[in-house]
Amino acid sequence: MIKKFKKVISIIVCVLLSIAMLGGCGGGAGKTAGDEGTKASAGETKAEQTQEQPKDKFKGVKINALLEGHPTSNALKQLEAEFEKETGIDLNLEIVPYNELPQKALLGFSQKSDRYDVIFNDRVYMPGYVENDYIIPLDDFVKNDEINKYCDLNDFVEQYLNACKYKDKLYGLPVYGESTFLMYRKDLFEEYGIKVPQTMDEMVEAAKTVKEKSNGKIYGITLRGQQGIHAVYIWAGFLWGFGGRWFDENGRLDIATPEAIKATEYYVNLLTNYGPPGFSNFGWQENRLAFQQGNAAMTFDATVNGAYNEDPKESSIVGKVGYAPVPTGTDKLQGGQCSLAVHGLYISKFSKNPEAAFMFASWATGKDVQTKSLNIEANCGISSKSAMESEEFNQKYGSFKDGMLEAIKNGNVDYLPSVPQSSEIIEKVGTALSQCLAGTKTPKDALTEVNEDINKNVLKK
Amino acid sequence: MVDANNAQNAVLMNNPGRKKSKIHLYFLLPSLITIIVIMIVPFFYSLYITLHNANLLENGGRFTFNGLGNFISFFQDERALNAIAVTLKFVLGAVALEALLGIAISLFLDRNFKGKSIVRSILIVPMFMTPVVTGLVWRTFYDPTAGILNFILGVLGLGNRYDWLGNTFSALPSIIMVDVWQWTPFMVLLFMASLDSISGDIYEAAYVAGASEFQLIKYVKLPLLVPTVFIAIVLRMIDCIKAFDIIYVMTKGGPGLATETINMYAYTVGFNFFRIGYATTIAFVFTFCITTLLSFIVSKLLNRVNTN
Amino acid sequence: MREFKNRKSSSTWMVKRGLFWVVLIIILGFFLFPPVWLLSTSLKNFKDAFAIPPKIIFTPTFENYAYVFSNGDFARYILNSIVISFVSTFICMLLGVPGAYAIACFEFKRKKDLSFFILSTRIAPPIMSLLPLYIIFNKLELIGSRFPLIIMYILMNLPLVIWIMPVYFREIPLELREAAIIDGCSELKVFWKVMIPLVRSGLAATSILCIIQAWNEFLFALVLSGNDSQTLPVAVTSFMTFQGTQWGPLSAAGTIIMIPMIIFGFMVQKSFVKGMTLGAVKG
């Protein structure tokens, strides 16, 4: 009896062990190889610090990068082999959807895991990463001649580079940037005799005219209204445009002001009266599609939309689009009304090979790679000035390049809240906006409530 | 079956030379050990976390002791209250519809016809479709401009500009519809099997008594279905309460908070606000309530079934 | 079963019968429409896919499938899903079937409480234990391998096995068990040589149910998997990119995920229903 029992147990144990090996390999292989590589490189880098041979310096070092699903990431995947040949660094690129990236990064950081060396993320998360000591400043690396061969800070668009600084230290290398501008149908404006709106009043008038003169067939304007970051991103343009702001001098949330309420009422009315149906579900893609299929006469959204408007494969309005700065609602602006969104590459504090990580980050954002990426996939949000001067860029994106550059120049780096709790603030404000758009709450009530809630429970001020 | 078990025991007892062994324990051991090891450790760790402030964006993710602070916040949290309400509406709505439709369809199919087993095979399909994929497919159906649903309604002349998932009133019903689509077959198959087991004698007797189809349903089939219906409802509720995939993929809890169930809220708090301690607390309180409720219902149920 | 044919006149009966088939077709159509739509969309190019009015006749193309497989990772995700589902189910059956046997064929104290306890492990939403699990697996350096998911799915499916398998065991006539015992077989031998072969169809049905549950699971896979160990449901969400949702490849991926499960479903529907029914009713 006991013998049989032991037999059963030993069978189970054998099965479990074999599963362990099966389960481990395929997935765990990466981890074990990484450990070996790490130990080897630690010895090597110290010994060879005096020599200037990047190729041998990091040979065999494994760098893991957590990247957003993004054209730049796709380009990097294609150019991986080149980097490995040049530096001997073994790259492992993991591409994850934008929504799921912060949780993967943060879970790892909170456990002080060295799983990822480089993170590609929105700068909205940067203050949180810095305040919690998850990422390291790059200033020293930039000055280190042994590893800065790909790094040229002057090549970056200044505003992007500044956005990657926090408390006077540089934490990230910008890999993607955008601003916002107003896009309008030149042909329709001409037909209906509308002039390009410069104020909010003019914009709503223009929308009204389009709706009337096209007998309701073409919508005046289309905007994102999807709950969450999408609505907030567009609404922030109205917030700043009407003279509002996110935080007051004491760091308290300040979006229950008359200006903010006016901005929200304007946003809600504009969409409800002149927007296409289903706007409350419009994320970036839906909004872009609505405009480029010719359903609306205006939209205000990311500068990168220009690339899609002018792409004959996707758009039915090629060549008919004009680009202008986002209108304002008042003269007393507290900050720019167009955005400055930047995504950067950051280096984890727990990385065992920060220098090799920096080499990768600087290579990935270097002018070479950025120029090449233009040919791999539509990608006009690049951050390298020289790449923007290249022929490929001007050929593809020349028609709206000026509008884009102007918007970037005036971009407001505080367009979205940049505090550690940004994510929560954006989610809660997004929910409030969704309720306003659905009509279940008035802007005044919704904003007052969410302002109080965030100050009390989130910022604790 | 109770008889059979007793009989087996009788065999064991009356068989001389057969020790009254605890052999059953050995058979149960692998499962029990697995459950205890895999479940108990995380369970107590979760409990530990609920007593702490654990925010991945504060303090470098370190835990700071908070006592019952999370629990107190939970009971003062309006959004949690709303989430509970939404969850109740969702579960009750979905399961009730599924049960009703299940009964109706199973009664409808309760006759001999060619291809009955093919029909059963077809009915299995929705249950096995990956929830994430199901959610995405229905999301395109509900699209205001390019969706099939609006197109069909337009063709039928019922207007075609409805924003199913973007409207606070229609969002939750739309999601309930998806769950109903996916799980009504579960009910149908269960009830069909139950109806199949009704012996021919009863039908003979009914026929002889001159009962109409309607009377047959009312006095024979429905009463016999009742225990199965109860159990199906309980089983379904357990899974429905945890529904996450379709909501995540279709509305993520919006518009506003109209489709934010407790599970979705816990996810948002945990992976959007990164307040893991509070998220775990939400899930914990919720699990505790449901388990208590369930044990109460199940014990009542088992009594009922046994007396039937 | 009963036949009411003789009670009605021919024409009423035919109308009724016709009506029956019409309603049946509508019902089946409703339940079959989404997967069929998914399949057809995966074979359409982008323009046809969302054309209004919907295109019923179109030239099929495999470009979506080509795109899905073009980046070599997807094949790996399929492999991951297969390995994880099958391995976890295999171990789960190994651990759970003996337990199910015990519950079916032995009488012991607190049996009902035990059954309920095991069922109740299914109640907790995954989010409750996600962080502890992540921390534990991270400390064990298992994140990124297939191990965490295999373990979690074993836990997830064990209650199913323990609730469904007893049904099949109870169907076996008492006499067979008695006879084997009288012949001097040990309990283990009875179990292994007598009972198991007799519940083969039940084993198949339960295994397939477990495989399907593991295959379709999303949240644990989302959080606990790494790039290498990603499963298909998670891979599907990767088509919802920064640039928007790529519906074409997404529908192809969705079809790929769906088809094996539907095939499995067909294979087991009879046994599966039996297990569900009797398990439910007899509790």
Give Cβ neighbours of residue A100 (< 8 Å, ≥ 6 apart). C222, C237
Long-range pairs for C69-78 at CB < 8 Å and ≥24 separation? C71/A77, C73/C227, C73/C230, C73/C235, C74/C235, C74/C253, C76/C228, C76/C230, C77/C230, C77/C231, C77/C232, C77/C234, C77/C235, C78/C232, C78/C256
Residues A398, A186: contact at Cβ < 8 Å? no
E-assigned strand segments in chain B: 52-53, 64-65
pLDDT at site A351: 92
Q: What is the pLDDT of residues B37-47, one digit of tens each?
A: 888 888 888 89
The dihedral of CA B33, B35, B39, B40: what is its sign?
Answer: negative
pLDDT at site A349: 93
Residues A362, A150: contact at Cβ < 8 Å? yes
Q: What are the tokens at C92?
A: 């789960």
Out of B59, B255, B275, whose CB is closest to A438?
B255
Residues A229, A282: contact at Cβ < 8 Å? no
pLDDT at site B307: 60
Quickly tell me which residue has 């099958």 as its tokens: C86
Across the interface, do B283 and C124 touch by the CB < 8 Å criterion?
yes
pLDDT at site A45: 40
pLDDT at site A196: 92
Q: What is the pLDDT of residues A440-456, one digit of tens each?
A: 899 999 999 999 999 99
Chain C nearest-CA distance from B229, in A, is: 9
Radius of gyration of chain A (CA): 25
pLDDT at site B161: 78
- Residue C142 CA: distances (Å) to CA of A37, B246, C92: 18, 29, 20
State the DSSP code for A170: E
Count the neighbouring beta carbons within 10 Å of the beta carbon of residue C236. Answer: 24
Angle, in degrees to the nearest 10, between helices B171-196 and B116-128: 140
The dihedral of CA A382, A385, A387, A392: what is its sign?
Answer: positive
Across the interface, do A280 and B60 touch by the CB < 8 Å criterion?
no
pLDDT at site C272: 66
Across the interface, do B231 and C280 touch by the CB < 8 Å criterion?
yes
Phi, psi of C259 (to 5 degrees): -60, -45
Out of C3, C128, C265, whose CB is closest to B287?
C128
Q: In terms of DSSP bridges, do strands A341-347 and A118-122 run parallel, antiparallel, or are they unpaired?
A: antiparallel
Q: Give chain A's mean pLDDT.
A: 84
- Residue A241 CA: distances (Å) to CA of A180, A428, B239: 12, 21, 48
Q: Give chain B's mean pLDDT.
A: 83
pLDDT at site A10: 47
pLDDT at A5 over 80: no
pLDDT at site C163: 80
Interior angle at CA B204, CA B201 and CA B207, nearest 5: 150
Distance CA(B46)–CA(A192), nearest Å, equals 63
Residues A197, A327: contact at Cβ < 8 Å? yes
Q: What is the pLDDT of residues B137-166, one digit of tens each?
A: 999 899 887 788 888 888 888 877 788 888
pLDDT at site B201: 78
Residues C210, C93: contact at Cβ < 8 Å? yes
pLDDT at site C115: 78
Q: Taking residues A48-58, what's their average pLDDT?
A: 52
Name the residue among A264, A246, A268 with its Cα closest to residue A255.
A246
> Does B245 lie at the interface with C, CB-CB under 8 angstroms?
yes
Distance CA(C26)–CA(C32), nearest Å, equals 10
pLDDT at A63 over 60: yes
Distance CA(C23)–CA(C29), nearest Å, equals 10
Which residue in chain A has the smallest CA separation from B55?
Answer: A110
Phi, psi of A357 (to 5 degrees): -60, -40
pLDDT at A233 over 70: yes
pLDDT at B11 over 70: no
Residues C137, C71: contact at Cβ < 8 Å? no
**Comparison of pLDDT for A226 and A31, the residue scoring more:** A226
pLDDT at site A278: 82
- B vs C: CB pairs below 8 A: 282
**In a 10 Å sphere around its CB, with 0-12 CB exposed, 13-18 middle and 19+ buried, how is residue B266 labelled?**
buried
> Does A127 lie at the interface with B, CB-CB under 8 angstroms?
no
pLDDT at A130 over 90: yes
Which residue in chain C has the smallest CA separation from B198?
Answer: C1
pLDDT at site C279: 52
Q: Give the count of alpha carbons within 13 A of A444, CB side only.
A: 1
Cβ neighbours of A348 in B, within 8 Å = none
Distance CA(A418)–CA(A167), nearest Å, equals 12
pLDDT at site A31: 37
Residues A384, A193: contact at Cβ < 8 Å? no
Q: What are the tokens at C16?
A: 């009724």
- Chains touching A, CB cut-off 8 Å, 3+ pairs: B, C
Distance CA(C172)–CA(A37), nearest Å, equals 58
CATH homologous superfamily for the domain C66-278: MetI-like (1.10.3720.10)
pLDDT at site A55: 56
Q: What is the pLDDT of residues C75-99, one digit of tens each?
A: 889 999 999 999 999 999 999 898 8
- Residue A446 CA: distances (Å) to CA of A256, A258, A416, A421: 9, 13, 19, 20
Quickly tell me which residue has 């309720």 as its tokens: A435
Name the residue among A276, A330, A265, A304 with its Cα closest to residue A181.
A304
Name the residue among A218, A378, A212, A205 with its Cα closest to residue A293.
A218
Residues B80, B262: contact at Cβ < 8 Å? yes
pLDDT at A48 over 70: no
Distance CA(C14)–CA(C18), nearest Å, equals 6
Chain A nearest-CA distance from B58, in A, is: 6
- A112-121, A374-383, B140-149: range with highest mean pLDDT: A112-121
Going from the N-terminus, what domains does chain A have, and what CATH number goes with each? 53-177+341-397 (3.40.190.10), 180-338+421-458 (3.40.190.10)
Q: Taking residues A162-178, what's their average pLDDT?
A: 91
Give Cβ neighbours of residue A413 (< 8 Å, ≥ 6 apart). A159, A162, A163, A340
Strand partners for C244: C241
pLDDT at site B299: 77
Distance CA(B281)–CA(B292), nearest Å, equals 17
The full DSSP string for C79-127 is HHHHHHHHHHHHHHHHHHHHHHHHHHH---TTHHHHHHHHHHTTTS-TH
pLDDT at site A299: 94
Residues A280, B163: contact at Cβ < 8 Å? yes
- Chains touching C, CB cut-off 8 Å, 3+ pairs: A, B
Across the interface, do C281 and B231 touch by the CB < 8 Å criterion?
yes
Q: What are the tokens at A168?
A: 């006077």
Residues A296, A279: contact at Cβ < 8 Å? no
Give Cβ neighbours of residue A291 (< 8 Å, ≥ 6 apart). A183, A222, A299, A301, A305, A309, A317
> Does A124 lie at the interface with B, CB-CB under 8 angstroms?
no
Percent of chain B with pLDDT over 90: 28
- Chains touching B, CB cut-off 8 Å, 3+ pairs: A, C
Residues of chain C with pLDDT under 70: 1-9, 242-243, 270-283
Amino acid A328 reads: T
Distance CA(B2)–CA(A447), nearest Å, equals 63
Out of B1, B151, B206, whose CB is closest to C53?
B151
SS3 of A370-392: the string is HHHHHHHCCCCCCCEHHHHHCHH
Please, what CATH class does the domain formed by B79-307 belong to? mainly alpha
Q: What are the tokens at C45?
A: 């190019």
Across the interface, do A26 and C241 touch by the CB < 8 Å criterion?
no
Q: What is the pLDDT of residues B251-304, one digit of tens each?
A: 888 788 999 999 999 999 998 999 989 999 999 998 888 888 888 877 776 676
**In a 10 Å sphere around its CB, with 0-12 CB exposed, 13-18 middle and 19+ buried, how is residue A335 labelled?**
middle
pLDDT at A363 over 50: yes
Give Cβ neighbours of residue A197 (< 8 Å, ≥ 6 apart). A182, A184, A203, A205, A206, A298, A324, A327
- B83-97, B200-214, B286-300: range with highest mean pLDDT: B83-97
